């Protein structure tokens, strides 16, 4: 019994030494500093909210390339040749070796009266598929576009 009273007395003595009980600190005391970006003379652009305006970083992605070709085919059938041309161009950026995308890009550029782009696309197609069944026809188109 004496040991319990001694422990209780010791606890009361410790409490008397620290009259202020431990409390959680105020939020005002918990200010954390955010790291500041390095300042330079160039003004940084704000992050884009509209993802269609953001710059796309292309890397090898054959699935995305095929998807863009299919969407380009849809636009081509609707007669929206500029939209189809944009999708085919994106398909070539995702997979530079996609010969169908280059062929269709040439056709869409030809329909939208962009002779230079059509010539370049057809030439790239022939570089990828020199022995294609339609190679002679494509060579004639290139000569006609000059």
Split at pLDDT 50, 70, 90, the class of 4 is: confident
**Helices in the chain by DSSP H: which ranges?**
2-17, 62-78, 81-94, 99-111, 115-128, 135-145
For 62-145, CATH number out of 3.40.50.300, 3.30.470.10, 1.10.357.10, 1.25.40.10 equals 1.25.40.10
C-beta separation of 119 from 142 below 8 A: yes
List Cβ neighbours of 58 (8 Å cut-off, separation of 6 or more).
93, 94
What residue ranges do the domains of the chain occupy?
62-145
Judged by average pLDDT, the poorest of 31-45, 46-60, 84-98 is 31-45
- What tens digit of pLDDT does each residue of 63-111 get? 999 999 999 999 999 999 999 999 999 999 999 999 999 999 999 999 9
Split at pLDDT 50, 70, 90, the class of 114 is: very high
The pTM of the full predicted model, rounded to 2 decimals, is: 0.63
The alpha carbon torsion through 4, 8, 11, 15 (nearest 10 deg) reads 180
Calpha distance 62→91 (Å, rounded):
8
Mean pLDDT to the nearest integer, 27-38: 59
């Amino acid at each position: 019994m004496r040991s319990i009273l001694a422990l209780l007395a010791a606890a009361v003595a410790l409490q008397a030494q620290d009259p202020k009980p431990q409390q959680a600190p105020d939020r005002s005391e918990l200010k954390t500093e955010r790291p500041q970006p390095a300042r330079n003379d160039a003004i940084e652009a704000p992050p884009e909210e509209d993802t269609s305006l953001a710059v796309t970083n292309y890397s090898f992605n054959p699935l995305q390339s095929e998807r863009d070709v299919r969407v380009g085919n849809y636009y081509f059938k609707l007669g929206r040749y500029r939209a189809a041309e944009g999708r085919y161009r994106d398909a070539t950026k995702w997979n530079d070796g996609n010969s169908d995308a280059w062929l269709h890009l040439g056709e869409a550029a030809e329909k939208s009266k962009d002779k230079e782009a059509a010539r370049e696309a057809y030439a790239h197609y022939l570089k990828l598929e020199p022995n294609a069944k339609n190679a002679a026809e494509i060579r004639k188109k290139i000569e006609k576009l000059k």
